[in-house]
Structure 1
Amino acid sequence: MKLVDEFRKGWLGISPPSLALSVGFATICLMLATLVRWGLAQVRPDIFFTPYFPAVFFAAAFGGLRIGVVTALIGGVLGVSLNFGDVHADRARFVLLVLYWAVSALTIWGVEHYRSLLIEQRRISKRLIEEEEYRKLLVDELQHRLKNKLSTVHAVLHQVLHDQPQVWARIDPRLRSLAATDDLIARVDNSGCDIRDLLISELGPYGHVRFTLNGERLFLPAKLAVTLSLMFHELATNASKYGAFSAPRGLLQVSWTVSDDRLTVTWDETEGPSVDKVSAPGFGTKLLKSALIAFDGKTEISYLKSGVHCIMQCRIPKS
């Protein structure tokens, strides 16, 4: 089992095989090539070097440059010295020997070049995996700190507003909804979630009577769910500052439809303050415009007299 494991690691390029195993493998390749040459000699006795090309290739792929060169040299010697049938060495065979070594050199160079690319790719993959693990660790730590800070803010406000139960009754559910949204995004980053649950988590702090949701149950993959959560959060924040949620009678309607693998989400605000002047695009607007490009999508934002009208279209990944 140890020998098999060493052979597997050497063949996959995980770790270089031992010299003894490399020599043994090259010897077996040469023996098989000679056996094939003997079989072909029963039909064509003038085939001298062709069966040794695969031996050179496999020996170089497994054992490396030196083993490949030695195998090519020994294969050439065997092709010249061994005679099957009545054919003997002549000048033409030595010309074929030179051609055989030239092609073998190209074969060995190609194998070594591919091996170097494979090693570099494995090194880059290892570095990317390490960076991804570090990113996850950092995100988990930031989420933990954010939860602790939100809990601290909740406790401080509860203590300050202890004598004002009416004000606390309006703030407490919003803080709890924000905490629930953070927990949902943390779960979404790993497994995805339903679009309705995502919207309720984002819009819940503003009151369930202020918005309506229209659409069938739809499960979103993790990456798309995280992207849409950022967009919904940005739109909801703008609605609370300048849009429908900033007016006493303001309402929001969010609807979504799916056609084949295309998702269309419509964000429609009504009864909010009229938009007289649109400021220069900031970070939030740029986020809304570019977030869905990775999903072959786009975002269209219109500032109507009744409020913001936003259409988000994208492709739902199959995985």
Structure 2
Amino acid sequence: MGKLIAEFRKGWQGVAPPSLGLSIAFAVACLLVATLARWGLAHVRPDVYFTPYFPAVFFAAAFGGIRIGVVTALVGGVLGVVVNFGDAFADRARFALLTLYWGVSALTIWGVEHYRTMLAEQRRISRRLIEEEDYRKILVDELQHRLKNKLSTVHAVLHQVLHDQPQVWARIDPRLRSLAATDDLISRIDKAGCDIRDLLISELGPYGHVRFTLNGDRLFLAPKLAVTLSLMFHELATNAGKYGAFSSPRGLLQVSWTVSDDRLTVTWDETGGPSIDKISEPGFGTNLLKSALSAFDGKTEVSYLKTGLHCIMQCRIPKNE
């Protein structure tokens, strides 16, 4: 009995097609209920012949498919003509109503079957997307694992090579550890999110904590926004290390953020770096900065001032994304 109930539930939810026997049994039950309803209505309106069978056709087609729906409509029409609950006889009017009943039933069956087809397609697409997402997570986890192993290998090799140069190793070791901590943080925020201050410290830590200043209240970022901002901060920090404030001994960085209603504004100010004489053509990093926040109704403005790079990032703060 439990197996039969489980099969009925899966068939009704569209998870799996029901067996032919169960579909026929369900259609018979629908016809019996419709006939009982017609018998009850006959005490008030004896000329109600086919109306109670419309729900039976609908439910039978929704559960068993187009063939079961057609059979139910045909049997319901025959019952409406043959079975009487009064003194009326099968005249021409009843046959005209029969034609109308079959026409409406045909439209009902077509609509139900069209909906079933769309639902099956949606389920197929949903399963494929879930499978692709699971595959993506496996690849990301594997890449993170390999990156962590490679970073550990680099750390060990450099430690061996610089064993006789403790001063140089003392400058490199904390940066490598900070990079590893950043990778671990990114892997965690993809699932749970993080605080914006922790995210910035993780990204900027390898360049030295005395080189940057953070101004803003504690703000927890949902996973999607946290990952997006981490990519943007990483790009800005990398550029600062190559061409900006972090490439100069006296360069400094100040990052500030404010929240107004549900809008976040982050300001990135670099000072003391080398002067920017020529701006190259926009590359991947620039395009990333300008488009990454569009999913959060946001925008990014990048300015190359004499004092250094100035960037303003604005976006909506999602609640549960």
The verdict on a shared fold, with TM-score over 0.5 as the criterion, is yes
- Tell me the distance in 1 between the aligned counterparts of 2:19 and 2:128: 27
TM-score, normalisation: structure 1: 0.98
Deviations 1:44-95 (A, max 9, x none): 2111111100000001111112211111011000111122223221101101
TM-score, normalisation: structure 2: 0.98
- Tell me the distance in 1 between the aligned counterparts of 2:139 and 2:23: 44
Bigger Cα displacement from structure 2, 173-182 vs 157-166: 157-166
Q: Does 1:184 align with 2:185?
A: yes
- Tell me the distance in 1 between the aligned counterparts of 2:83 and 2:259: 72
Q: Which residue of 1 aligns with 2:129?
A: 128
How far is the alpha carbon of 1:277 from its aligned partner? 1.7
How far is the alpha carbon of 1:272 from its aligned partner? 1.4
Would you identify which runs of 4 or more consecutive aligned residues in structure 1 move more than 3 Å? none
Deviations 1:229-253 (A, max 9, x none): 0000000011111111111111111
- Tell me the distance in 2 between the aligned counterparts of 1:104 and 1:237: 67
Q: Does 1:9 align with 2:10?
A: yes
Deviations 1:97-156 (A, max 9, x none): 011111111111111111111111111111111111111101111001100110111111
How far is the alpha carbon of 1:19 from its aligned partner? 2.0
Q: Which amino acid is 2:118 matched to? A: L
Q: Which residue of 1 aligns with 2:32?
A: 31
Q: Which residue of 2 aligns with 1:40?
A: 41
The number of residue pairs the alignment matches comes to 319
Could you say what secondary structure the match of 2:89 adopts?
A: coil
Structure 2: which 5+ residue stretches go unaligned? none
Q: Which amino acid is 2:238 matched to? A: T
How far is the alpha carbon of 1:25 from its aligned partner? 1.0
- Tell me the distance in 2 between the aligned counterparts of 1:275 and 1:44: 90
Q: Which residue of 1 aligns with 2:204?
A: 203
Could you say what secondary structure the match of 1:276 adopts?
A: coil
- Tell me the distance in 1 between the aligned counterparts of 2:4 and 2:140: 42
- Tell me the distance in 1 between the aligned counterparts of 2:92 and 2:217: 82
Aligned sequence identity (%): 84
**What is the root-mean-square deviation of aligned Cα atoms in Å?**
0.9
- Tell me the distance in 2 between the aligned counterparts of 1:46 and 1:318: 58
- Tell me the distance in 1 between the aligned counterparts of 2:180 and 2:133: 25
Q: Which amino acid is 1:125 matched to? A: S
Q: Which amino acid is 1:63 matched to? A: G
Q: Which residue of 2 aligns with 1:294?
A: 295
- Tell me the distance in 2 between the aligned counterparts of 1:63 and 1:284: 55
How far is the alpha carbon of 1:20 from its aligned partner? 2.0
Q: Which residue of 1 aligns with 2:19?
A: 18
Could you say what secondary structure the match of 1:291 adopts?
A: helix
- Tell me the distance in 2 between the aligned counterparts of 1:308 and 1:166: 32
Could you say what secondary structure the match of 1:239 adopts?
A: helix
How far is the alpha carbon of 1:17 from its aligned partner? 1.3
